[in-house]
Amino acid sequence: MSFGGQTPTIIVLKEGTDASQGQGQILSNINACAAVQQTIRPTLGPYGGDLLMVDENGKQTITNDGATVMKLLDIVHPAARILVDIARSQDAEVGDGTTSVVVLAGEILKEVKEHVEQGVSTQLINKALRRASAMAVNKVREISVATNDASRRDTLEKLAATAMTSKLIKRNSTFFTKMCVDAVLALDQDDLNERLIGVKKIPGGSLTDSLFINGVAFKKTFSYAGFEQQPKSFKKPKIVCLNVELELKAEKDNAEVRVEEVSEYQAIVDAEWQIIYKKLENLHESGASVVLSKLPIGDLATQFFADRNIFCAGRVAAEDMDRVIEATGATLQSTCSNILPEHLGTCGSFDERQIGGERFNFFEDCPEAKTCTLVLRGGAEQFIAEVERSLHDAIMIVKRAIKNKDIVAGGGATEMEVSTYLHRFADREVRNKQQPIIKSFARALEVIPRQLCDNAGFDATDILNRLRVEHVRGNTWAGVDFDTESVSNMMDKFVWEPALVKVNAIQAATEAACLILGVDETIRNEESQAPQGPQGQLPPGAAQKALRARGRGMPRR
């Protein structure tokens, strides 16, 4: 309907809302992702640096783990947050390569930026990127080497050592690779649930004072008077695990009783004592030497057990209790009556030991051992926390390698081989507009060896040229040799990685790049607009500020 020949203005969005669209918006998103990549790329590789990150509460974190860095960066730019998601997905799916996937995604976007500026359709770019990604994944699988079961442990240790080369613990990698492989092999090989690997951090001592416990260890729980009279060591004890509160006050809290005479009150008090004594007598008669409960064990029960040479611990953490049940074969009881011998667990030895400033309970030589505990030592809490993150990556690599036996070489060798293959394919087989985009994808893969060289202080241009020559000659596993500052066969150097790491990184990085390129409109409300320059680009000096750009994006489908 028109009024006086003019169409009235229809306001759909809130006044002050900015709706950025088109090429300028895509370029803005690419620049934001490049800013994130610039922050994280110096942490890549054996000579990558660590980032010191301080949150709003003043808590310090020193790390070079990509997933941790991306989680702690307060990234609110809508497009850049996609890089956070792919880092988390890589961490969940594989456990390692989180920095690589973010660096690769950022580089793909930077390489195709030129095509966007020239007006090439983003749909054409996405189609070419997905084609290049599929070919790259197939090439990785084609060149991967299957390991045999005879050298299984040796292979797992080499894979764990490669995962640790870029971590804080690389100087003690020999010590920790054995620990990681032992930890994964201690699990049930059918499900390999890494959550059953307990990690306890105790400040003090050196890294090599860390312990591998083939069983369960947890910190001494809160205890009442009488605890010190209990025995602290057993050989082949019977263990009962409870979800029962053994305190006198519990019966008062769980019931309401009305009395009319004083004599009746005394009968109620006597009944309460009889109830708890009945529970304690049942536990004693079960033959258990160690009593554990998720709920409190009070002073009356503690003294009762001490008089009968029984060890008890209340308020045991749920995860520790679950691991004790897995290791000892015990069954969690919700009542103290009818406890049968098959409900009890056992272990080779139980004892309480002092480690640093803490006392720990150890359950070792467990017959059902499908769990283990790593006791980590170190000089500072931040240092031990980074050791834990490093071990997590190595453990996940070992876990994936057990299920996926194909390996490839590290040191940038795989990326260079795939890059050479894609360049050759684009020159010979592609005759349409996809050719320059596939070649851009191939150049993006070279960012991994280039960044490895930059972080180590090598001449990246010289080494990359030598790598290109070697791969054109057919030396599939030629990569960056950090020992000689040159090019070597990474497979012979035992720099190995699961093929799954490379496959997942290429797929995740490509999907993230295609998703970001597919967003050509962002709607921001007035209160949370990100600073924008001409043509949607970030204004001068705002590259790093993009990390905290107050934008809430909404991609248009």
Pairwise CA distance, residues 330 & 341, whole Å: 10
CA dihedral 46, 48, 54, 59 (to 10 degrees): 10
Residue 537 confidence (pLDDT) above 60? no
Pairwise CA distance, residues 256 & 134, whole Å: 69
Antiparallel, parallel or unpaired: β 290-293 and 345-346:
unpaired
| pLDDT of 21 | 67
Residue 4 confidence (pLDDT) above 60? no
| pLDDT of 28 | 85
Instruction: Express each pLDDT in 450-472 by its tens digit.
Output: 999 999 999 999 999 999 999 99
**Cβ 394 vs Cβ 180: under 8 Å:** yes
Antiparallel, parallel or unpaired: β 211-213 and 290-293:
unpaired
Domains of the chain with CATH codes: 18-145+409-548 (1.10.560.10), 148-214+375-404 (3.30.260.10), 216-368 (3.50.7.10)
| pLDDT of 554 | 38
The two counts, helices (H) then strands (E), for the chain are 17, 21
| pLDDT of 436 | 92
Q: How confident is the model at residue 541 (pLDDT cuts 50, 70, 90)?
A: very low
Q: Residue 79's closest CA among 519, 510, 545?
A: 519
**Cβ 390 vs Cβ 167: under 8 Å:** yes
Pairwise CA distance, residues 73 & 88, whole Å: 13
Instruction: Express each pLDDT in 325-380 by its tens digit.
Output: 988 888 999 888 888 888 898 898 999 998 888 899 999 888 777 888 999 998 88
| pLDDT of 5 | 53
| pLDDT of 162 | 87
Antiparallel, parallel or unpaired: β 197-203 and 358-364:
unpaired
Instruction: Express each pLDDT in 117-155 by its tens digit.
Output: 998 888 999 999 999 999 999 999 999 998 876 568 888
| pLDDT of 9 | 56
Residue 548 confidence (pLDDT) above 70? no
What letter does residue 348 receive in the DSSP assignment? S
The percentage of the chain sitting over the pLDDT mark of 90, rounded to a whole number, equals 29
User: Between 314 and 542, whose confidence is greater?
Assistant: 314
In order, the DSSP letters of 308-344 are TT-EEE-S--HHHHHHHHHHH---EES-SSS--GGG-
Stretch 494-509: mean pLDDT, rounded? 91
User: Between 556 and 206, whose confidence is greater?
Assistant: 206
Residues 6+ apart with CB under 8 A from 144: 406, 407, 408, 499
User: What ranges make up the beta strands (E) of 336-452?
Assistant: 345-346, 349-355, 358-364, 372-378, 406-409
**Cβ 165 vs Cβ 412: under 8 Å:** no
Bridge partners of 235? 349
| pLDDT of 552 | 36
Instruction: Express each pLDDT in 100-120 by its tens digit.
Output: 999 999 999 999 999 999 988
Q: In what order do the strands lie in the sheet with 215-219?
A: 215-219, 358-364, 349-355, 233-235
Antiparallel, parallel or unpaired: β 478-481 and 406-409:
unpaired
Q: Helix or strand or coil: residue 388?
A: helix
Q: State pTM to two decimals.
A: 0.78
**Cβ 310 vs Cβ 281: under 8 Å:** no
**Cβ 349 vs Cβ 236: under 8 Å:** yes
| pLDDT of 262 | 75
Instruction: Express each pLDDT in 217-228 by its tens digit.
Output: 999 888 888 888
| pLDDT of 546 | 40
Based on C-alpha coordinates, what's the Rg of the chain? 30
Pairwise CA distance, residues 34 & 103, whole Å: 9
Instruction: Express each pLDDT in 33-90 by its tens digit.
Output: 998 899 899 988 888 888 888 888 888 888 888 888 888 888 888 888 888 888 888 8
Q: Which amino acid is at 401?
A: A
Stretch 11-39: mean pLDDT, rounded? 74
What kind and span of H or E run contains 60? strand 60-63
- The vertex-120 CA angle with 117 and 415, nearest 5°, equals 85
| pLDDT of 435 | 92
Residue 199 confidence (pLDDT) above 50? yes
Residues 6+ apart with CB under 8 A from 336: 242, 244, 278, 279, 280, 282, 283
The rounded mean pLDDT for the chain is: 84
| pLDDT of 252 | 58
| pLDDT of 26 | 84
